[in-house]
Chains A and B, each alone.
Chain A
Amino acid sequence: MARTRPIMPAWFHRLGSPKGFYSMTTPWLPWLAAASLVLLIGGAVWGLGFAPADAKQGNSFRIIYIHVPSAFLALAGYYVMAVAGAIGLIWRMKLSFMAMKAAAPLGAALTLISLVTGALWGKPTWGTYWVWDARITSMLVLFFLYLGVIALHYAYTNGEAAGKAAAVLALVGTANIPIIYKSVDWWYTLHQPATIKLTEAPSMHPSMFQPLLVMIAGFYCLYALVLILNIRAEILHRERSSHWVVELARRGRS
């Protein structure tokens, strides 16, 4: 029984060539870097100095401008990782596995930022650094899911098998994320009838919400930048015996 896979246009396969990806993304880097810098610094200054403080939480509210974007990207990043794994498995694309491998520590770092800033926000707000509320607990579980994928990558000695195994795990995790989130939510409401929301995005005043949008956009740009940088480094490593990489190294500039 022949294995068929979906037919894709030619550019899709060109995109999947490591050399093609490397040369295509080189001009993108300065733009992504500039956009990330402008959006993140601008958004941070805006949020720190110019957005109004929250009536109840005071100035600790300003942590939201990091906590929410990082949590957002951490969750979205898991799907990026899982989709990259799925594409790699279906179309046997090496580049897709490289993208997934790059997305794992990136997502884990963002989850860590979200957890640490959440703890630092919780202390002045609720008096303790750690509170088992639904949002933070779900973030912790997401962190464990990322760690599992990273650990699996390292445990396999064969790089190709590592990518496939990690892809299977990422996909299983993806199917479970909605279940985990819903069950943690349920668990929390069962034990704490008064639901305390850490962020109140829908009921935020626009002057508080706008810098948040800027920061989210900035984090997105940074995510794309770091992901591409990591894929490029991985390409250099895996293709190190090929002609174009050696030429690149000898020329001394990327």
Chain B
Amino acid sequence: MGDKADVWQGTLALMILKTIETMGPLHGYGIARRIEQTSGNLISLNYGTLYPALLKLEQEGSIASEWGVSENNRKAKFYRLTRAGRKQLNQEARDWEQTTAILARFLSPTEDPA
């Protein structure tokens, strides 16, 4: 477990939004599992931290929730992306790509063209 990364501040929201976009409406447990799978089990996610993050996104209007029935016929709360959420996702994904691209330039071995 020791080499697993924690979730960086602020990136959890982006992961949640992306997950919901990819998977369609999904319950909290599903989102958590999906994030772990997507990370190739590199992230150690405390599932409990997911719920305040979901609430914050909902308060901000990026996602909406309603009760539904899971694949195993269990009552669960499903979260779906709103129009504002989709916009936010695109914006933040772009920002993030830019940031990583910049950092990548710093960190990759220098390819001196000259």
- Answer whether A and B are interacting partners: no
Residues of A at the B interface (CB closer than 8 Å) are: none
Residues of B at the A interface (CB closer than 8 Å) are: none
